[in-house]
């Protein structure tokens, strides 16, 4: 008895609320002499680290990473082509995984009052456990959808049940509809409010993360 080969694609997508807000920031100072720059860096880092460690103890931050200090020196060029005096720079990278998005928004707002502190990027993620579970569920549903589609073709030809022959994993993708990349506010904005004032009202309300999977599958069915 001959067989008919049916090749189809199956896909599935779900939307999941993000569970982590991951902040990448840095404390950076530069100047004409290395010693004052390093002293500024120590003071700036102390303030930022104290606040982040407090949030970590309170449970707003799941994980905090303070990188080692990096130093460099260069002579920038003037727009007229003249090389300017030596500039020394010192930076320390910060990485914090927030579980409390309200605390995250408040902390980013407060960076306007911290000289030298710059927030480079905020990304929205799932925990590893949630991501693996969602990916598994989405992949399995994509396979089921492929089988349903193949069976639809077989039914249209009045054939019997299909039997899987091969499955090719096209892949799983993640899309975040809203990803924030807030930068440090201007110096004038930072001076507009003091340490005893409330931080600027920032609202981080990320959209859900879309997890999408697709498979290519081949099914066979006996020809009548």
Q: Per residue in 122-178, pLDDT tens?
A: 889 999 999 999 999 999 999 999 999 999 999 999 999 999 999 999 888 887 654
CA angle 101, 105, 192 (to 5 degrees): 170
Every domain of the chain and the residues it spans: 1-19+126-177+206-224, 20-125
pLDDT given at position 178? 44
How far is residue 111's CA from residue 117's CA, in Å, rounded to a whole number? 6
Tokens coding 132: 């693996």
What pTM was estimated for this model as a whole?
Answer: 0.75
Q: For domain 1-19+126-177+206-224, give the CATH number.
A: 3.30.110.170
- CATH of the domain spanning 20-125, picked from 1.20.1640, 3.30.70, 3.20.20, 1.10.3470: 3.30.70
Rg (CA), the chain: 27
Confidence of residue 202 (pLDDT cuts 50, 70, 90): low
The three-class DSSP label of residue 213 is strand
**Chain-wide mean pLDDT for the chain?**
86
Summarised one tens digit per residue, pLDDT across range 81-137 is: 788 788 999 999 999 999 999 999 999 888 867 889 999 888 899 999 999 999 999
pLDDT for the residue numbered 84 = 77
Measured CA to CA in angstroms, residue 160 lies from 144, 149, 216, 219 at distances of 17, 14, 21, 12
């Amino acid at each position: 008895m001959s067989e008919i080969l049916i090749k189809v694609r199956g896909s599935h997508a779900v939307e999941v609320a993000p569970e982590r807000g991951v902040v990448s920031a840095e404390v950076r100072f530069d100047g004409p002499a290395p010693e004052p720059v390093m002293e500024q860096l120590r003071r700036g880092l102390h303030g930022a680290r104290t606040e982040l460690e407090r949030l970590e103890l309170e449970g707003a931050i799941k994980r905090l990473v303070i990188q080692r200090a990096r130093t460099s020196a260069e002579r920038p060029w003037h727009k007229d082509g003249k090389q300017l005096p030596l500039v020394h720079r010192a930076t320390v990278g910060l990485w914090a995984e927030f579980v409390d998005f309200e605390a995250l928004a408040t902390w980013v707002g407060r960076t306007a009052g911290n000289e030298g502190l710059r927030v480079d990027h905020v990304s929205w993620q799932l925990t590893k456990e949630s991501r693996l579970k969602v990916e598994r569920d989405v992949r399995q549903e994509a396979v089921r959808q492929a089988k349903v589609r193949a069976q639809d073709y077989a039914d249209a030809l009045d054939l019997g049940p299909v039997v899987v022959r091969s499955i090719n994993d096209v892949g799983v993708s993640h899309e975040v509809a809203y990803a924030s990349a807030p930068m440090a506010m201007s110096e004038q904005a930072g001076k507009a409010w003091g340490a005893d004032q409330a931080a600027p009202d920032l609202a981080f309300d990320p959209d859900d993360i879309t997890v999408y999977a697709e498979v290519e599958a081949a099914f066979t069915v006996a020809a009548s």
